[in-house]
Each structure stands twice: as structure tokens, then as C-alpha cells.
Amino acid sequence: MLEIKNLSKNFGGFVALSDINLKVEPGERLGLIGPNGSGKTTLINCISGTIQNYTGEVQFNGETLNDLKAYQRARMGIARSFQIPKPFKSMTIKQNLLVPLEYAVQDNNLGPHGLDGEADRILDLLGLADKANDISSNLTQIEMRKLELARAMAVKPKLLISDEAMAGLSSNEVDDILKILVELNETTKITIIMIEHIMRAVMSFSERVICLDAGEIIANATPQEVIKEPAVERAYLGE
């Protein structure tokens, strides 16, 4: 479904990603871990198109994405949340969801509830229904993270990338979000890439985990195997 070939990205002299090769299968739940500054978000930016001038190739369902802008990639079914929440702050929570529903989703893919109904359904799923008409700039950080995820879900994606959606959430809330994501993955068969620092979450969620360090993939295996990998331990804890 997603195939990344020889992807590299430099910021001036700093190598953010170096020769990344990665394949993600349809319906897969993939965890992406790595210390701060290891290139996780840069990789997501290259996939979603917010960074365009990388070398190498990103393919989605066999088509190259290299010449496509971020909005075109969203319309093909790639959605992401942002690590630092970027809500449309002049809008209500529900209006935030109407943007992707109107712009990224084809009319015939809206489902039986229509535009409004679909927005309500997603808000309900994430426990934001009673705040639907609140202005999003008044939300707490935690609610903003939920909104990030809700808005990405409103793209009705085939590939959902969640960039630290759970940071700061309580243990119960983490469980709630995990349940939603697993359900979403099992019922609609969408592929999910999860970047997360909460190990408990990413390990229980993922079928496969990739660990990045200094722009390179240092581990690519099942969660149980990755956690035992000496290179991963070194990356997190040092020598």
C-alpha cells in the first residue's frame, strides 16, 4: 500500500532522513518509535506532502506521490494528525471536521449520514460530542489532541498517521483512544501508522514496530523483538 524507496532529506548540513526503505501492507498497524530528533516527524511530513523536496520516492497504492501536493495526497486517502495540535482555531470543533469532509472526501464516500451526521459520528466516537459547538481555541491540550485525531479521521483515510496523539493523556484515555484506533483498523481495514512515545500504547497497538535513530531505520520487527534489540536500547539509553 505504502512504499518508500531510498528516501533522504537534509536540512542544510543536517541529515534528517538517510536512505529510508519501507513497505507498509494494507490494513497493517505499524508503530514508529525513536528518540527525539530521530526523523519520525520528517518521515511523516514526506509521506503527507508537507515536505516536498526530498530525494527518493514515496509510492501509494502503486502510484508515485512525488509530484503531488499535500492536499492531493489527502484526497487520495492519506491523513495525519499533528504532534503540535494545529486546530482551525476560529472555528468550532464540528466545523474543524467539516473542512476535511468537504474538501478531502468524495461525496459518494460520505456514508449514509451525510456531512453533518458524519462529523457528529466522529465527534461522538472520540468523546467530543458535547463540545461540538465550542470554539476550538478554547480547548484544553488534551482535547486538542483528540480533535487532531478526529480531524484526521474525517479525511476518511486509507492510511492514517497519528503523530503523538496520546501525549499527555491519562492512562484511561490512552486506552480509550487505542480501542478506537484498533476498532477503526479492524472494521474499515485502514492502515495506521502510530508515532508514540508511550511505549505501552505503541507496543500493544502495533503488529510491527520500526525504530528510527539519526535518520536511519535501526530496527524493523515485531514489538517483542524490537524491544529486545540492542541497537534500540542504545538509541534510547546510550552506551
Partner 1 sequence: MKARRDTRFYLIIAAVLILSYLVTTAMTNQYYFFAGFAILQFIVMALAWNILGGYVGYVNFGSAAFFGMGAYAAIVALQLFNASLFTQIVIGGLFSALLGFLTGYLTLRLRGVYFAIATLALLVVSETLIANFDYVGGAAGTYILPTRKPTILGVLIVGKQDAVFGNYKELLFFIMSFITLAAIATCSFIEKSKFGRGLAALRDNEEAAECMGVPTLKLKLIATTLSGLFMGVTGGIFPYYLTFVDPTSAFNLDISINALAMPIIGGTATWLGPVLGAIVLGTMQQVATVTISSELNVLIVGIFLVAIVLFAPNGFLGLIDKFLKRGN
**For binding to partner 1 (CB under 8 A), which residues are involved?**
48-50, 69-71, 74-75, 79-80, 82, 86-91, 95, 98-100, 102-105, 151, 154-155
- Which lies closer to partner 1 via its Cβ, residue 147 or residue 178? 147
Torsion angle in degrees (nearest 10) through CA of 33, 99, 157, 9: -40
CB of 195 to partner 1, least distance (A): 15
**Other beta carbons within 10 Å of 186:** 11
- Which lies closer to partner 1 via its Cβ, residue 51 or residue 219? 51
CB of 62 to partner 1, least distance (A): 21
Whole-number Å distance between alpha carbons of 44 and 210: 13
- Which lies closer to partner 1 via its Cβ, residue 79 or residue 192? 79
Q: Is the dihedral of CA 123, 127, 128, 131 positive or negative?
A: positive
Angle between helix 141-153 and 93-103 (nearest 10): 20
CB of 234 to partner 1, least distance (A): 34
- Which lies closer to partner 1 via its Cβ, residue 6 or residue 61? 61
- Which lies closer to partner 1 via its Cβ, residue 104 or residue 178? 104
User: Coil, strand or helix: which one is 180?
Assistant: helix
Angle between helix 141-153 and 171-188 (nearest 10): 0
CB of 50 to partner 1, least distance (A): 6
92 in Cβ contact with 136 (< 8 Å): yes
- Which lies closer to partner 1 via its Cβ, residue 29 or residue 73? 73
- Which lies closer to partner 1 via its Cβ, residue 31 or residue 100? 100
Whole-number Å distance between alpha carbons of 103 and 126: 21
87 in Cβ contact with 96 (< 8 Å): yes
CB of 190 to partner 1, least distance (A): 16
CB of 39 to partner 1, least distance (A): 18
DSSP one-letter string for 95-158: HHHHHHHHHTS-GGGS-TTHHHHHHHHHHHHTT-GGGTTSBGGGS-HHHHHHHHHHHHHTT--S
CB of 152 to partner 1, least distance (A): 8
Whole-number Å distance between alpha carbons of 136 and 95: 9
